[in-house]
Amino acid sequence: MIDFEYHHPTSLDEVFGLLDQYGEDARVMAGGTALVIQMKQRLAQPAHVIGLRRVGSLNSIESTSEGVSIGALCTQRQVQNNPIVAGELPLLADTFRKVATPRIRNMATIGGGLVNGDPNQDPPPALIALGASAVMTSKSGDRVVPVEDLFIDYYETDVQPGEVLTSVLVPRAPTGSGSVYLKFLPRTADDYGTVSVAAVVSQKPDGSCKDVRIVLGSVGVTPIRATQAEDALRGQPLTDENIRAAAALVKDAVDPLEDFRGSAEYKTDMAEVFTRRAIEQAMTSGKTGS
Amino acid sequence: MNQKVRLKINGTDHELDIPARRLLVDCIRYDVGLTGTKEGCSVGVCGACAVLVDGEMFASCITLAVAVDGSEITTIEGIAENGNLHPVQQAFIDNGGFQCGICTPGQVIAAKSLLDENPNPTEDEIKEWMMGNLCRCTGYYGILNSVAAAAKTMSESG
């Protein structure tokens, strides 16, 4: 790791001042699980590291009229174990429980994970399926970005110079809807998913599909929302045939990178399989939950 | 550049003048001289370097010492009390919880961290927690038995 200066600001104003002063030479650090490894591997070589640990007010979780507001510095374990999240956003509690190991979840934060822009992470598909937004704060105020639009390319996000992701706002899923996050882990329990799928399904009284959101992870350079599959199901009876036909459409939506977890072709096939299972399981969880 | 870092390690205050890039594992081993904490994978995956930072389990190989300035750190050297091994340490000895030993300090810290917040874990809870600590000797059953035995001892004596 090349040497750098570490800064301990205690307020966001101080953070913005440091970002102004050091510009491109500075990186903001939350839990550091991603950035420290990137610095060790010299993929990131900032001359200044701005640590957020001492900035207060960024680690609370509150229930609001619009949903649940989660401070960017909440650790992933804090989100996993929070009673508000468990009660109002069970999909999110379950998703964060599946991230890496307890040790990493103690360190890594919800905001740090998002701005890292790694397409293999677990929280983004679930957050996008729930319609969450990220609040980006700068000297000039707040800018609210749907998490769906946060990811531009491989490890590239919409965070602008001078901005810090300060909180994540997650709307509650519609009453009577069901949701699931499936993570295909053929290797080890702490691994990234070979493919992952988050699905939120709400049904009309007659059992047909009122609305559906399907988002996949680990199958492209960003998380991918399967809009064609969603469109094929919306308003239709949730029959086995319709679900299979919709799941087959994700094969055209994904563009997986080949790696030691599998070939692009294999991951494409698994994306279809896990999308089908996710829709089926989300439907069942909605029925038991309502 | 060198920066002042204050850490309370196993109850002893240390004021260090170290480069900002110093990792907590290197600080503990080389600046402070406590070599019980091991470095394995260096990327936060294997658990050998686990220490407690203000009571929470961290991977010291991907933690900057300067980032946890002002924290209380507990390492494997700090969990015995008054010359008596911690019940988790004793359980690892009694139940064959280690073979070559390189992963053991991290395994013991992880087990202590689990039992501190969940004194009576189920077998599944033990597995879910301890899966973050790898043992290349593959002595996993001995480790799981050790954690379960330590939970039993601690709940009986507590």
Picking from A174-178, A239-243, A245-249, B48-52, which range would have the lowest pLDDT averaged per residue?
A174-178
d(CA B142, CA A234): 52
User: Which residue in chain B is spatially nearest to A99 when comparing CA positions?
Assistant: B132
In chain B, the domains with their CATH numbers are 2-78 (3.10.20.30), 87-157 (1.10.150.120)
CATH number of the structural domain A61-170: 3.30.465.10
The 10s digit of each residue's pLDDT in B113-144 is 999 999 999 999 999 999 999 999 999 999 99
Q: Is the CATH code 3.30.390.50 the one for domain A178-289?
A: yes
Domains in chain A: boundaries: 5-51, 61-170, 178-289
Tell me phi and psi for residue B144, to 5 degrees.
Answer: -60, -40
Q: List the single residue in A4, A29, A100 with the smallest CB-CB distance to B21.
A: A4
Instruction: Of A251, A225, A243, A228, give the one whose Cα is nearest residue A282.
Output: A243
A174 pLDDT band, cuts 50/70/90, is: confident
Position A289 scores a pLDDT of: 45
Mean pLDDT of A138-156: 98
Q: By three-state DSSP, how is residue A121 classified?
A: coil
Q: Round the average pLDDT of chain A to a whole number and report it.
A: 96
d(CA A179, CA A225): 15
The 10s digit of each residue's pLDDT in A236-262 is 999 999 999 999 999 999 999 999 999
| Cβ–Cβ gap A106/B50 under 8 Å | no
Instruction: Indicate whether B5 pLDDT > 60.
Output: yes
Question: Which residue numbers of B have CB closer than 8 Å to A's CBs?
Answer: 1, 3, 19-21, 23, 42-45, 47, 50, 56-59, 62-64, 66-69, 110, 113-114, 128-129, 131-132
Mean pLDDT of A146-160: 98
The 10s digit of each residue's pLDDT in A81-92 is 999 999 999 999
- Percent of all residues in chain A with a pLDDT value above 90, rounded to a whole number: 94
Sign of the Cα torsion A20, A27, A155, A43 reads positive
CB A47 within 8 A of CB A23: no
Whether A100 and chain B come into contact, CB under 8 Å, resolves to yes
Mean pLDDT of A264-279: 98
Q: Which residue has the higher pLDDT, A255 or B1?
A: A255
Position A275 scores a pLDDT of: 98
Radius of gyration of chain B (CA): 15
The one-letter amino acid at B83: G
CATH topology match: A5-51 vs A61-170: no
d(CA A271, CA A217): 9
Instruction: Indicate whether A281 pLDDT > 70.
Output: yes
Position A176 scores a pLDDT of: 82
d(CA A184, CA A197): 9
Rounded to two decimals, the ipTM of the complex is 0.96
Position A206 scores a pLDDT of: 92
Mean pLDDT of B91-106: 97
The 10s digit of each residue's pLDDT in A96-129 is 999 999 999 999 999 999 999 999 999 999 999 9
CB A127 within 8 A of CB A181: no
| Cβ–Cβ gap B132/A5 under 8 Å | no
Q: Is the CATH code 3.30.43.10 the one for domain A5-51?
A: yes
Q: List the single residue in B1, B44, B67 with the smallest CB-CB distance to A5.
A: B1
In angstroms, the Cα distances linking B44 to A90, A107, A140, A155, B24 are 27, 10, 37, 20, 12
Residue with tokens 């429980």: A97
A2 pLDDT band, cuts 50/70/90, is: very high
Instruction: Indicate whether B1 pLDDT > 70.
Output: yes
The 10s digit of each residue's pLDDT in A22-73 is 999 999 999 999 999 999 999 999 999 999 999 988 999 999 999 999 999 9
Q: List the single residue in A2, A51, A104 with the smallest CB-CB distance to B59.
A: A104
Position A141 scores a pLDDT of: 97
Work out the number of other CB atoms within 10 angstroms of the CB of residue B137.
Answer: 13
Position A290 scores a pLDDT of: 40
| A276 CA: distance to closest CA in chain B (Å) | 27
CB B150 within 8 A of CB B88: yes
Mean pLDDT of B9-34: 98
Position B86 scores a pLDDT of: 98
Instruction: Indicate whether A146 pLDDT > 90.
Output: yes
- Percent of all residues in chain B with a pLDDT value above 90, rounded to a whole number: 98
Q: What does the DSSP 8-state code read for residue B46? A: S
Position A288 scores a pLDDT of: 53
